[in-house]
């Protein structure tokens, strides 16, 4: 991919963020799932750290930076859609490490990426706000310095790690906006009033994670949300279907799961160009 092509994808990706008309951005976990999702008409894709880790037989948070970047490049190469990468905490605490990761993300052909403020430290799971802001600023400086304007998502992880402090979450998102993020994201929010307060407290597009208990797509649109992602949900739904089929074969000795096989084969043939 040329820099011009990458920039076109990045521009298209950012333009798809329209408040009230949310971009539905599914999270494939390998090249095949990326091709299938593209064939279904989605306009952009995002990687999932937990889904990727599962393909390696690991839990979320165990993938290295090199593995994550290589995986992102694989998803980028699978389709012509813009791809944003879940880069967790950018694989380093210090802003300099974050900047290095964003440089690698640019080299992978991505249209966007995210940097979260989850430290991975059990005693202090969320970075102090000052450091978290510096980390986003370092990412933005690299993401926006060259011919490709990498769409940077600043993530506030409070609500995934037992810190249900909406005021702090909003303060963090506002800080990430000031630091140069293009999109803001606080995964874990499910209450309409909380999501509305976030959307009205910032001036950038807001992403919401689709999860049980969250408002529907139409309700999120009415709240002014600009993007809806699924995280690892599709990957684990696929694993759930695998377990159901395997347990039926083992425990019942029947093959009802094959009723879905023909549909899956037809989908693969259409998506993979056979």
Query: Which residues fall within 8 angstroms of residue 12, CB to CB, at 6 or more apart?
Result: 44, 82, 111
pLDDT average, residue stretch 142-162: 97
Percentage above 90 pLDDT, the chain: 97
DSSP state letters, 176-188: HHHHT-SEEE-TT
pLDDT average, residue stretch 10-29: 98
End-to-end CA distance of the chain: 24
Rg (CA), the chain: 19
Q: What is the pLDDT of residue 251?
A: 98
Rounded Cα distance between 72 and 46, Å, is 9
Q: Is residue 86 within 8 Å of residue 49, measured between CB atoms?
A: yes
Query: Does the pLDDT value for residue 53 go beyond 90?
Result: yes
pLDDT average, residue stretch 75-101: 98
Q: What is the pLDDT of residue 274?
A: 53
Q: What is the pLDDT of residue 91?
A: 98
Grade residue 269 by pLDDT with cuts at 50, 70 and 90.
very high
Angle at 230 between CA 182 and CA 213, to 5 degrees: 110
Residue 143's φ and ψ, nearest 5 degrees, are -60, -30
pLDDT average, residue stretch 38-57: 98
CATH topology of domain 3-235: TIM Barrel (3.20.20)
- Tell me the whole-structure pTM to 2 decimals: 0.97
Grade residue 122 by pLDDT with cuts at 50, 70 and 90.
confident
Can you give the residue ranges of every domain in the chain?
Answer: 3-235
Counting Cα atoms < 13 Å in the Cβ hemisphere of 175 gives 20
pLDDT average, residue stretch 91-101: 98
Largest Cα–Cα distance in the chain? Answer: 59
Mean of pLDDT over the chain: 97
Task: Report the 10 Å Cβ neighbour count for 186.
Answer: 24
Query: Does the pLDDT value for residue 211 go beyond 90?
Result: yes
């Amino acid at each position: 991919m040329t820099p011009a092509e990458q920039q076109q994808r990045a521009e298209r990706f950012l333009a798809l963020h329209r408040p009230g008309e949310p971009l539905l951005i599914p999270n494939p976990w390998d090249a095949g799932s990326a091709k299938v999702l593209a064939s279904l008409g989605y306009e952009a894709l995002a990687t999932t750290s937990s889904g990727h880790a599962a393909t390696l037989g690991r839990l979320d948070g165990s993938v290295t930076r090199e593995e994550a970047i290589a995986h992102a490049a694989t998803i980028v190469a699978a389709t012509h859609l813009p791809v944003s990468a879940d880069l967790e905490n950018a694989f380093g605490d210090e802003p300099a490490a974050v900047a290095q990761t964003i440089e690698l993300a640019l080299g992978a052909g991505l249209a966007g990426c995210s940097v979260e403020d989850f430290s991975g430290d059990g005693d202090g799971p969320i970075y102090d706000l000052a450091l978290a802001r510096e980390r986003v600023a370092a990412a933005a400086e690299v993401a926006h310095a060259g011919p490709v304007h990498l769409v940077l998502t600043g993530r506030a992880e409070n609500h995934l790690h037992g810190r249900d402090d909406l005021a702090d979450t909003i303060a963090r998102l506002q800080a990430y906006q000031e630091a140069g993020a293009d999109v803001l994201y606080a995964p874990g929010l499910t209450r309409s009033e909380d999501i509305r307060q976030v959307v009205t407290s910032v001036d950038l597009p807001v992403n919401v994670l689709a999860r049980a208990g969250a408002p529907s797509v139409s309700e999120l649109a009415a709240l002014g949300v600009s993007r809806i992602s699924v995280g690892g949900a599709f990957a684990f739904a696929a694993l759930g279907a695998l377990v159901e089929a395997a347990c039926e074969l083992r425990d019942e000795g029947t093959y009802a799961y094959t009723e879905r096989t023909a549909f899956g084969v037809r989908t693969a043939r259409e998506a993979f160009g056979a």
